[in-house]
Structure 1
Amino acid sequence: MQKFLNALPLLAIAALIWFHFQRPNNDQPKLAKRPSQTESLRCQVVSNSIYDGDTFRVQCDGREQKIRLCGIDAPETKQPLGIESRDYLRSMIAKAFNKVIVIEMDRDKYGRTVAEVLLDKPDGEQSVQEEMLKAGFAYHYKQFSGNCHNRDVFDTAEDIGRSQKLGVWRLPGGGERPWDYRKQNKS
């Protein structure tokens, strides 16, 4: 019994260390899950092809395609925080060595693949949409998230960004929504 009591502080320290390393880097819980029984492709993001916070090009199985992130809408590059949103997406993808998992949901009217995308990192998969929303660099685009497997997660992730006043949530009223901006600036 005495040996057990002597080892107790070491066990407590070991447990704390184990729990610490089980947490994601940003101290936020990962909410999104990879949909089961859904076809996915491991792809490489094409260098210098991240256009804004929700659109980029990938190469999958030798074929290049333009990806539009399902269920979110990021500020346009001419909007406040548009460049920051794009750069945040670039940095996330760079940390995953430009490797992503694309889960195709649909095609949009511009021929882009609408997909949920996961960063394919050595320490595990991470939802791009969830991270963009939690950081406040995108809005949940509810009108176009019906096919997204993790649409419910997107609400929670957006609430995290809003409650912490991150990104667009620092702007008065949460800033102008990109869909409203596009309507106002049609040429």
Structure 2
Amino acid sequence: MQKFLNALPLLAIAVLVWFHFHQPNSDKPKLAKPPSQTESRRCQVVEGSIYDGDTFRVRCDNQEQKIRLCGIDAPEAKQPLGIESRNYLRSLVAQAKGQVIVIEMDRDKYGRSVAEVLLESPSGEQSVQEEMLKAGMAYHYKQYSSNCHNRDVFDIAEEMGRSQQRGVWGFPNGGERPWDYRKQNQS
């Protein structure tokens, strides 16, 4: 019991330090914490696997899986800004040295893991979806974002890109949406 009482002041200091360094940055939208039943995993993006601005492969625990970013839809490769969107995602991943945190929300009809993905940076965790939307390199895919914990943040991020006419928002009315493009170009 005496050892416990002696350690109590150190425990209190540790808790205070933890809270101090884990305060959210007040000048950016706050990411929602996933519910406790949602598991987050640290993964490595497979080199050369970023196909477009919303899909890539990761290796988690020696297993490879395809990830579809929850709540966003990036221009297709043949659309204006399709290649730029893919390259922007590549640059975000490169800044994090390929290390990502994957929070799986669902599986889609193609068997891909639909997930929110975070990058670790010196300033804290950074949402890939949020960054893609702020840069105008993707659209908030509201029809498929109901399971995304940060869908409200995605709305704010997209509005930031739109108001600054970044990326797709430089085109009249934001250009052709990827979902419309796919529908018109189905084989």
2:87 partner letter: D
Partner of 1:173: 173
* 2:30 paired with 1:31: yes
Equivalent residues in 2 for 1:31-180 (5 A)? Answer: 31-37=30-36, 38-180=38-180
SS at match of 1:125: strand
SS at match of 1:80: coil
Partner of 2:7: none
Q: Is the contact between residue 57 and residue 67 of structure 1 (CA under 8 Å) also seen in structure 2?
A: yes
Q: CA RMSD in A?
A: 1.6
1:57 partner letter: R
1:125 partner letter: E
1:166 partner letter: R
Cα deviation per residue 1:70-91 (whole Å; 9 max; x = unaligned)? 0000000100000000000000
Separation in 1, partners of 2:87, 2:80: 13
2:106 partner letter: D
Q: Is the contact between residue 68 and residue 114 of structure 1 (CA under 8 Å) also seen in structure 2?
A: yes
Separation in 2, partners of 1:63, 1:184: 35
1:31 partner letter: K
Separation in 2, partners of 1:154, 1:139: 9
The structural deviation recorded for 1:123 is 3.7
Separation in 1, partners of 2:30, 2:72: 15
Q: Is the contact between residue 56 and residue 66 of structure 1 (CA under 8 Å) also seen in structure 2?
A: yes
2:128 partner letter: V
Equivalences, count: 163
2:160 partner letter: I
Equivalent residues in 2 for 1:17-28 (5 A)? Answer: none
Runs of 4+ aligned residues of structure 1 deviating over 4 Å after TM superposition are none
Separation in 1, partners of 2:105, 2:181: 25
TM-score (norm: length of structure 2) = 0.83
Separation in 1, partners of 2:33, 2:126: 9
Separation in 2, partners of 1:35, 1:53: 23
SS at match of 1:105: strand
2:30 partner letter: L
Separation in 1, partners of 2:48, 2:123: 24
Q: Which runs of 5+ in 2 are unaligned?
A: 1-23
Q: Which runs of 5+ in 1 are unaligned?
A: 1-21
Cα deviation per residue 1:130-161 (whole Å; 9 max; x = unaligned)? 00001000000000000000011111110000
| Fraction of identical pairs, as percent | 74
2:56 partner letter: F
Partner of 1:3: none
